[in-house]
């Protein structure tokens, strides 16, 4: 199977996962990226049964609206029942690297609110140790050089993501050559650098379920 077919398989599996739980007041959190886009397109089949979503990016909100699916501001909903999103990497504890699409901060906010975070990814994303994928860090523009120097002190090689401004008006530094042996500690350390808005490590709030697309079918993994 191609990577796109694996992504479609997990998008469909996520739809099957949530379908039995859908009530009139269910709120879905919707992620960002190519896998999340396939989920959004699959969700269109349930238009009319999905009364409320919150989106982790302007792009996903727009795609949902194009399908006629209602999108709300997070501040106006009482709860988020399920958050469905992709990832750039996951380890066996379902700690993730996210932010390849520069939406990490809003993704982290929706994940923090969600009762159940369902990560959907193809098998290439499952790794032993996080960090082969460069870790995205969202930074207030005036702090770019300061944050870059602090990331070098932590052992990484930060690279400015040219031409990218996040939905929040900030810039992204991608930290290369940064093997992450202690995701919890590293997430907290980077968050403590002045000027960092958030970083793409999802260790303090990992996924609850990983639907992993493999050549043998979709596997359901829970944090070990
Ligand atoms: C966007 C993200 C995405 O979930 C991540 O980049 C995976 O993307 P894709 O599904 O296109 O492989 O974190 O900020």
How do residues 66-83 score in pLDDT, each as one tens digit? 999 999 999 999 999 999
The residue ranges of DSSP E strands in 91-160, in sequence order, are 96-97, 114-122, 135-139, 157-160
Residue 7 pLDDT > 80? yes
* pLDDT for the residue 47: 86
**In residues, how long is the chain?**
224
* pLDDT for the residue 223: 83
Q: Record the pTM.
A: 0.97
Interval between CA 101 and ligand 1 midpoint (Å): 5
- Cβ of residue 156 lying under 6 Å from some atom of ligand 1: no
* Locus of tokens 């994940």: 111
- Cβ of residue 135 lying under 6 Å from some atom of ligand 1: no
> Pick the catalytic residue: 89, 107, 150, 187?
107
CA neighbor of 103 nearest in space, from 189, 164, 144, 188? 164
Q: What is the mean pLDDT of the chain?
A: 97
**190-207 confidence digits (pLDDT tens):** 999 999 999 999 999 999
- Cβ of residue 35 lying under 6 Å from some atom of ligand 1: yes
216: DSSP letter: T
**79-138 confidence digits (pLDDT tens):** 999 999 999 999 999 999 999 999 999 999 999 999 999 999 999 999 999 999 999 999
Q: At what angle do helices 34-43 and 3-18 cross, to 10 degrees?
A: 50
Q: Calculate mean pLDDT across residues 5-18.
A: 97
**159-186 confidence digits (pLDDT tens):** 999 999 999 999 999 999 999 999 999 9
Strand partners, 96: 90, 202
> Which ligand 1 atom minimizes the distance to the CA of 98?
13
Nearest C-alpha to atom 2 of ligand 1 is from which residue? Answer: 99
* pLDDT for the residue 67: 96
> Which ligand 1 atom minimizes the distance to the CA of 7?
10
Interval between CA 88 and ligand 1 midpoint (Å): 6
- Is 5 catalytic? The answer is no
> Which ligand 1 atom minimizes the distance to the CA of 120?
10
CA distance 92 to 2: 23
- Cβ of residue 34 lying under 6 Å from some atom of ligand 1: yes
Residue 224 pLDDT > 80? no
Token duo for residue 86:
């992709």
Token duo for residue 168:
């929040």
- Cβ of residue 87 lying under 6 Å from some atom of ligand 1: yes
Q: Calculate mean pLDDT across residues 9-16.
A: 98
CA distance 24 to 197: 35
How many CA atoms, within 13 angstroms, populate the side-chain half-sphere of residue 137? 35
């Amino acid at each position: 199977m191609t990577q796109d077919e694996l992504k479609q398989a997990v998008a469909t599996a996520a739809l099957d996962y949530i379908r039995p739980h859908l009530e009139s007041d269910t709120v879905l959190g919707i992620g960002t990226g190519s896998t999340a886009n396939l989920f959004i397109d699959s969700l269109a089949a349930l238009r009319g049964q999905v009364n409320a979503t919150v989106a982790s990016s302007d792009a996903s909100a727009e795609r949902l609206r194009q399908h006629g699916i209602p999108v709300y501001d997070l501040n106006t909903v009482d709860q988020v029942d399920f958050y469905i999103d992709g990832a750039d990497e996951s380890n066996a504890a379902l700690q993730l690297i996210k932010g390849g699409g520069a939406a990490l901060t809003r993704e982290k906010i929706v994940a923090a609110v969600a009762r159940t975070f369902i990560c959907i990814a193809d098998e290439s994303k499952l790794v032993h140790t996080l960090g082969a994928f460069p870790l995205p860090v969202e930074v207030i523009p005036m702090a770019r050089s300061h944050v870059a120097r602090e990331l070098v002190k932590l052992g990484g090689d930060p690279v400015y993501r040219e031409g990218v401004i996040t939905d929040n008006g900030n810039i992204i530094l991608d930290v290369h050559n940064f093997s992450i042996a202690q995701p919890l500690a590293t997430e907290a350390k980077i968050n403590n650098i002045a000027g960092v808005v958030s970083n793409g490590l999802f260790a303090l709030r990992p996924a609850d379920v990983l639907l992993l697309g493999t050549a043998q079918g979709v596997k359901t993994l829970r944090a070990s």
